[in-house]
């Protein structure tokens, strides 16, 4: 029996359907779906669930209070199963198999997952024959070609993936335990530290410090509005920014009623088509249309396993010669993208653009089959369309812009205006995302005089450097060698889930400040990209076979030991810095009753609330949600002067609670209204003072319900029933 192992169930199902030339037999072994068919040889395909084993420390190291964090640096590492049913199914099938083919994704992670599965099979069948297939798309042609040309398993590549697991486990566990104990932040509130995570967080915190230290400088801009053939357009003073107010006033004062055109220059500018998508550029493009990196990759992986796009984890920006690119375009000749495909196919030359990175593992991300909008979810279609349009754009010509440069003289002061008009859409017709707008000017002639219909001087200030958006941060991480194409989006997700950052662009919390400031001062190695980048290079060398995994792990442990030497020298200072910094993350503002600090606190029973530091003299408090991490933002309530807060549950975007005091008052008012509604009389006779006889009198006047009583004029009711007006008014007060 030939056993084929895929990385996920959906991939196994699709591969089985392709190889069986029909519908494979679906069975369950040990509660796991498998697919069986016979093409001259009995074949069984099963899917894993990613990693089915995990690395961990022996149980003796589990107690944080008793085992020093530094002991984890050289501790033994054990492997434990995480999916026992899959492991059981593997062993059962492995005993029956004569050959195993690993068909997991072809990268470090996928090779390691495949080797983990192979080792489980070899436990019960040591001499089994094995090989591996490589593909970049789960399509009929790609899968059939892969299985017709199996290769050997790349154990060096798997070792590179394994070394990453070991290094990240040891660094993360040891440093997280040390800092959490130093700050006394245990349980669910532990302080997460990581080999890639911490330098990435340092980038965000350091940028925020630049913003905090930024001092705005005032400047002035001067504009004039000109009329040409009844059309208004604006020109700007050639001094883009006046830093001196007197100079600005002097120039502004010279603006009269006429402007003379002194120069007109026209030209053309070519806008080159984009290069093929690698993972980083795909994530950045998806982020620009509203997808977080993590969500973009989840959707891309789903499209890949369903056969719609190629493997989305790639550094390559050059299409390999093995892909029939014309055939890939011809697929789209009909349907949603028909007109785009047909226009490309009419070109004699279909040479695509090339990026700077060319690798041999996987091609750039491109569409591998035609999908219909009706069969994909809304977000899936948006991502699929993005990939299709980028693919088309790489074959298109440049976009061409006509540029116009105009200069004007107003009483000796030079003004300017620049225009741009798209004359050839080129690649932008296929790929319409983030297109620049045209800036049109009227027909102008040198020497002509035009009337000025208005003028304006704007008072402005310089702006601090912008925070990093997720897409931009991914690119910076790549440039600095932080993480890999497969892990960078996961690192950013972890920063959100640990409540180190919120919002997009990313804004660090006070907890992030506290951790990074303590580390930068007393153990800066952890916050710099150099060490992490060096380890990434070492893992590349493992994959290339130029260095052993053992050598790299020894070097990694030596690096971490030196970090702990730094930490232990400054243990008291680190603990003090962390506690002082973390205290700031609990401050909400000033108490509205006594002026003391309001802080996030816990009761003796463990529930959270906002309490006053003036307690017990001041008992002012506000409730907080029972679950989720509380994030204190820098936005203040205009009414109460306390910071807005967000609640991070880790499962979705942080919930913006806003001002806790406003929220509490709104809740109280709602509760009061609900209680008031519950207390209202339902029937006329429920109203105190209205018995059966009085109810009959009211009924004779056309008032039979509580609603009728509430909306009628009390004087009219009194006339019709001979009941006192005062009583009627009191009855109405109880129902309105």
Number of neighbouring beta carbons within 10 Å of residue 128: 16
Q: CA torsion sign, 620 to 625 to 626 to 632?
A: negative
Q: Kindly compute the dihedral angle of the four CA atoms of residues 312, 314, 319, 324, in this order, to the nearest 10 degrees.
A: -40
**Helix/strand/coil for 624:** coil
Beta bridge partners of 418: 405
Displacement of CA 521 from its chain's centroid (Å): 29
Range 709-717, long-range pairs (CB < 8 A, 24+ positions): 709/684, 709/735, 710/735, 710/736
Which tokens sit at 369?
A: 């089959």
Q: How far is CA 148 from CA 15, 152, 635, in A?
A: 13, 13, 61
How far is the C-alpha of 182 from the C-alpha of 572, rounded, in Å?
Answer: 8
457, 220 in Cβ contact below 8 A? yes
Measured at the alpha carbon of residue 527, what is the angle toward residues 214 and 170, in degrees to the nearest 5?
155
**Helix/strand/coil for 318:** coil
Peptide bond into 711 cis (omega under 30): no
How far is the C-alpha of 474 from the C-alpha of 485, rounded, in Å?
Answer: 9
Which tokens sit at 324?
A: 């029939």
**CA R_g for the chain:** 35
Detail the DSSP E strand segments found in 649-700: 655-658
269, 400 in Cβ contact below 8 A? yes
171, 195 in Cβ contact below 8 A? yes
Beta bridge partners of 237: 415
Measured at the alpha carbon of residue 503, what is the angle toward residues 502 and 507, in degrees to the nearest 5?
60
Q: What are phi and psi of 82, to 5 degrees?
A: -110, -15
Helix residue ranges, H only, 184-227: 197-213
Closest CA to 129 of 100, 152, 102: 100
How far is the C-alpha of 44 from the C-alpha of 34, rounded, in Å?
Answer: 7
The number of C-alpha atoms within 13 Å of 705 and in the hemisphere containing its C-beta is: 3
**Helix/strand/coil for 590:** strand
- Only one residue has tokens 């130029």, namely 546
Q: Kindly compute the dihedral angle of the four CA atoms of residues 222, 226, 231, 232, in this order, to the nearest 10 degrees.
A: 20
How far is the C-alpha of 532 from the C-alpha of 18, rounded, in Å?
Answer: 42
Which tokens sit at 624?
A: 């907080």
Catalytic residue among 61, 304, 311, 468: 311
Active site residue 252: no
**Helix/strand/coil for 720:** helix
- Only one residue has tokens 């006053």, namely 612
How far is the C-alpha of 284 from the C-alpha of 165, rounded, in Å?
Answer: 26
Q: What are phi and psi of 611, to 5 degrees?
A: -125, 160
How far is the C-alpha of 313 from the C-alpha of 316, rounded, in Å?
Answer: 9
Q: Kindly compute the dihedral angle of the four CA atoms of residues 333, 335, 339, 343, in this order, to the nearest 10 degrees.
A: -20
Q: What are phi and psi of 204, to 5 degrees?
A: -70, -45
The number of C-alpha atoms within 13 Å of 190 and in the hemisphere containing its C-beta is: 17
Number of neighbouring beta carbons within 10 Å of residue 637: 17
Q: Residue 613 carries which DSSP code?
A: T
How far is the C-alpha of 573 from the C-alpha of 72, rounded, in Å?
Answer: 22
Catalytic residue numbers? 311
């Amino acid at each position: 029996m030939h056993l084929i192992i895929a990385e996920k169930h959906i991939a196994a199902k699709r591969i089985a359907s392709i190889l069986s030339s029909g519908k494979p037999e679906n069975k369950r072994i040990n509660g796991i779906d498998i697919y069986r068919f016979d093409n001259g040889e009995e074949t069984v395909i099963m899917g894993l669930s990613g990693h089915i084993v995990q690395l961990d420390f022996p149980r003796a190291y589990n107690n944080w209070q008793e085992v020093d964090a530094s002991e984890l640096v050289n501790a033994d590492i054990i492997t434990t199963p995480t999916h026992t049913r899959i492991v059981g199914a593997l062993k059962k099938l492995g005993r029956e198999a004569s050959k195993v083919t690993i068909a997991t994704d072809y990268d470090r992670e996928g090779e390691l997952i495949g080797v983990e599965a192979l080792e489980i099979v070899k436990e019960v069948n040591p001499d089994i024959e094995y090989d591996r297939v490589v593909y970049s798309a789960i399509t009929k042609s790609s899968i059939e070609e892969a299985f017709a040309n199996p290769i050997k398993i790349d154990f060096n590549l798997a070792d590179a993936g394994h070394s990453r697991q070991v290094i990240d486990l040891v660094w993360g566990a040891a440093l997280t335990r040390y800092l959490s104990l130093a700050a006394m932040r245990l349980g669910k509130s532990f302080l997460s530290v990581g080999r890639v995570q911490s330098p990435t967080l340092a980038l965000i915190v350091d940028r925020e410090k630049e913003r905090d230290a930024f001092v705005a400088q005032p400047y002035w801009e001067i504009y004039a509005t000109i009329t040409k053939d009844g059309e208004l357009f604006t020109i700007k003073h050639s001094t883009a920014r006046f830093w001196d107010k007197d100079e600005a006033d002097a120039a502004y004062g010279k603006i009269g009623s006429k402007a003379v055109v002194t120069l007109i220059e026209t030209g053309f500018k070519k806008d080159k088509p984009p290069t093929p998508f690698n993972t980083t550029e795909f994530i950045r493009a998806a982020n620009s249309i509203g997808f977080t990196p993590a969500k973009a990759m989840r959707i891309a992986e789903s499209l890949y396993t369903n056969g719609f796009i190629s493997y989305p984890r790639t550094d390559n920006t050059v299409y390999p010669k093995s892909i029939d690119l014309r055939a890939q375009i011809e697929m789209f000749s009909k349907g949603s993208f028909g007109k785009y495909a047909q226009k490309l196919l009419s070109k004699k030359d279909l040479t695509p653009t090339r990026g700077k990175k060319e690798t041999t593992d996987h091609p750039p991300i491109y569409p591998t089959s035609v999908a219909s909008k009706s069969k994909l979810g809304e977000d899936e279609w948006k991502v699929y369309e993005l990939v299709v349009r980028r693919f088309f754009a790489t074959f298109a010509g440049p976009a061409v812009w006509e540029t116009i440069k105009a200069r004007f003289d107003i009483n000796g002061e030079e003004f300017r205006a620049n225009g741009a008009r798209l004359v050839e859409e080129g690649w932008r017709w296929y790929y319409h995302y983030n297109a620049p707008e045209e800036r049109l000017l009227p027909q102008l002639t040198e020497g002509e005089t035009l009337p000025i219909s208005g003028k304006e001087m704007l008072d402005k200030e310089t702006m601090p450097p912008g925070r990093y958006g997720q897409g931009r941060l991914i690119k910076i991480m790549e440039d600095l060698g932080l993480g890999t194409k497969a892990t960078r989006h996961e690192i950013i997700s972890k920063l959100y889930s640990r409540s180190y950052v919120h919002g997009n662009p990313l804004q660090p919390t006070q907890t992030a400040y506290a951790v990074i400031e303590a580390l930068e001062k007393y153990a800066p190695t952890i916050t710099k990209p150099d060490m992490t980048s060096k380890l990434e290079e070492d893992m590349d060398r493992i994959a290339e076979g130029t260095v052993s995994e053992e050598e790299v792990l020894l070097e990694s442990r030596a690096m971490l030991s030196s970090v702990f030497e730094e930490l232990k020298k400054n243990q008291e200072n680190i603990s003090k810095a962390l506690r002082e910094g973390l205290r700031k993350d609990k401050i909400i503002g000033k108490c509205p009753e006594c002026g003391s600090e309001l802080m996030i606190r816990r009761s003796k029973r463990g529930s959270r609330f906002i309490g006053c530091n003036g307690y017990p003299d001041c008992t002012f408090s506000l409730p907080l949600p029972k679950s989720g991490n509380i994030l204190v933002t820098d936005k203040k309530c205009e009414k109460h002067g306390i910071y807005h807060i967000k609640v991070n549950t880790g499962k979705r975007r942080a919930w913006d609670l806003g001002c806790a005091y406003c929220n509490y008052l709104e809740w109280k008012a709602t509760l009061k209204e609900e209680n008031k509604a519950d207390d209202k009389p339902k029937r006329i006779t429920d109203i105190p003072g209205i018995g059966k006889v009085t109810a009959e009198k009211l009924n004779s006047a056309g008032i039979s319900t509580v609603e009728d009583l509430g909306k009628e004029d009390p004087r009219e009711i009194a006339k019709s029933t001979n009941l006192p007006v005062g009583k009627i008014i009191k009855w109405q007060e109880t129902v309105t």
